[in-house]
Amino acid sequence: MGQTIAEKILSRVAAETVRPGDEKLFQPDLITAYDYPGYVDRYAKQMSEELKIDRVRNPEKFVLFIDHLYPAGTPKAQEIHAITREFAKRYGFKLYEGHGIGHQVISEKGYIKPGMLVIHFDGHISTIGALGAIGIGIRNSMIEAFATEEVALVAPASVRIELKGKLARGVTTRDVFHTIVKRIGPAGARQCVIEYGGPGLANLEMDERFPLCNLAMFLGGITAVMETDEKTDDFLKSVGVSEFTEMRPDRDAKYANTVTIDLDDVEPVLVAPPSPANTIPISEAAGLRIDSGYIGSCASGRIKDFQQALEILDGRHVAEGFRLNAVPTTAEIQARMGEMGLTSRLINAGALVQTPTCDFCIGQLGALTDNERSVSTGTLNIPGRMGSKIAEIYTASPYTIAATAVTGRITDPRTLF
């Protein structure tokens, strides 16, 4: 019987055929985490004090990141980082601090190969699916992964998203993802792996692919994975990964559901508060007064996102009183933006170009006050996510945010080309 990509990966890891529904212990290829109060600090304590484990078998399987509450704004935040540094040192784990958001840095640093199984506590590790690997967020079972280098998983079924066609100008994969949410519902891939493929995938650049995988949880997905192709290969080679196998499902693989998305038909959408479940056509909120914008996060904040924003911003200026934060996802992206001249163009248009950090996504920086409204490429728009509980967050594409930034009102970017 044919296998989906996820079945292939889990079967390879288990060294036997794994079918959806099988409950098994898996040994992940990589175990990764970022520090945040109650996570790595807690694992560090559990490992040494409660489980009394003083070393792990394969320290090279672990990668940690400091990307939240960064740079530390309080002694308390610095203390959390200090615990993570000490934890990494003690067990011999690789730690990246200040390189940007871990969910992307891990790919940039060449850790990810197609076919890998990667474990994190945070579900946005699904981002690496763009490289044909699966990243699963297992929440607190992380301590099981740290202590035993194994995790118990119930093998998931897959939902196939068959992409065809090409995006029109002004439309992005953020719009595609939230159009899928609208189409199959926020639980449309619940408990499943979302597998993207089809001829339309070839028309999407890597920077456009990562967001589609990153947002998997908002379709109820356990994670997402993509077929690999020449673009994946080019990316992998650029980060020094040379030996890998291509990931494609078998022709007769079985899916819980198959959905075809014609990229030509996708239009810009907004995700209205109070939840990522809430896709609306941009026309429904057009003209709404907006105070600030954020382009960044593990979902968006790559070169392509800023190039798209600049298609609108070049030759224009952010509206009086509007705050536009442009936050590269990683330091490497930040450096490349400088080399490519994107940073100065953003600054000239009135954007505030920031250093890579998660903090704009969680309202630690650039916070909103009562009754403000923001447009964001962050992942989440629930009340309080970016500051005040009575501020509103609309998530949108970089095009829409740029268009909104120049008018101060929600604007369909296609009206400004």
Partner 1 sequence: MLPKISGRVAWIFDQPNFDIDLIVGVENIGTQDIETLKFVCMADYDPDFAESVQPGDLIVGGENFGYGHPHFPACRALRALGIAGIVAESFSPGFYRGESTNAFPLIECPGILDNVKRWDHLSFDWDSEVLSIKGKAMSLQCARIPQKTKDLLEAGDLISYLQRSNRLRRPDEQAG
What length is written for the chain?
Answer: 417
Comparison of 228 and 357: residue with beta carbon closer to ligand SF4: 357
Q: Which of 139, 169, 237, 289 binds partner 1 (CB under 8 A)?
A: 139
- State the minimum distance, in angstroms, from the CB of residue 25 to partner 1: 8
**Strand pairing partners for 295?**
326
Distance in angstroms (rounded) separating the CA atoms of residues 107 and 128? 7
Q: Are 176 and 263 in contact (CB under 8 A)?
A: yes
Residue 380 is a binding residue for partner 1 (CB under 8 A): yes
Residue 361, binding choice from ligand SF4, partner 1, none, Cβ under 5 to 8 Å by partner class: ligand SF4
Question: What strands lie across the sheet with 30-34, from one edge to the other?
Answer: 94-97, 62-66, 30-34, 117-120, 134-137
- State the minimum distance, in angstroms, from the CB of residue 409 to ligand SF4: 26
- State the minimum distance, in angstroms, from the CB of residue 94 to ligand SF4: 18
Comparison of 359 and 412: residue with beta carbon closer to ligand SF4: 359
Show contacts with partner 1 in window 336-375 (CB under 8 A). Answer: 363
Residue 101, binding choice from partner 1, ligand SF4, none, Cβ under 5 to 8 Å by partner class: ligand SF4
Is omega for the bond preceding 114 within 30 degrees of 0, making it cis? no
**Strand pairing partners for 2?**
253
Residue 289 is a binding residue for partner 1 (CB under 8 A): no
Contact positions vs ligand SF4 (CB under 6 A)? 101, 103, 124, 297-298, 358, 361-362, 378-379
Residue 257 is a binding residue for partner 1 (CB under 8 A): no
- State the minimum distance, in angstroms, from the CB of residue 33 to ligand SF4: 11
DSSP output for 325-340:
EE--SBHHHHHHHHHH
Instruction: Kindly state the DSSP code that residue 37 receives in the 8-state scheme.
Output: T
Token reading at 251 = 């022709």
Is omega for the bond preceding 274 within 30 degrees of 0, making it cis? yes
Q: At what angle do helices 206-214 and 230-238 cross, to 10 degrees?
A: 100
Residue 51 is a binding residue for partner 1 (CB under 8 A): yes
Supply φ then ψ for residue 92, to 5 degrees.
75, 30
Residue 277 is a binding residue for partner 1 (CB under 8 A): yes
Report which of 272, 321, 327, 267 is spatially closest to residue 294, judged by C-alpha positions. 327
Residue 147 is a binding residue for partner 1 (CB under 8 A): yes
- State the minimum distance, in angstroms, from the CB of residue 8 to ligand SF4: 27
- Interacting residue ranges for partner 1, rule: CB under 8 A: 23, 36-38, 46, 50-51, 53, 55-57, 123, 137-141, 143-144, 147-148, 150, 152, 154, 186-187, 190-191, 217-218, 220-222, 274-277, 363, 379-380, 382-385, 389
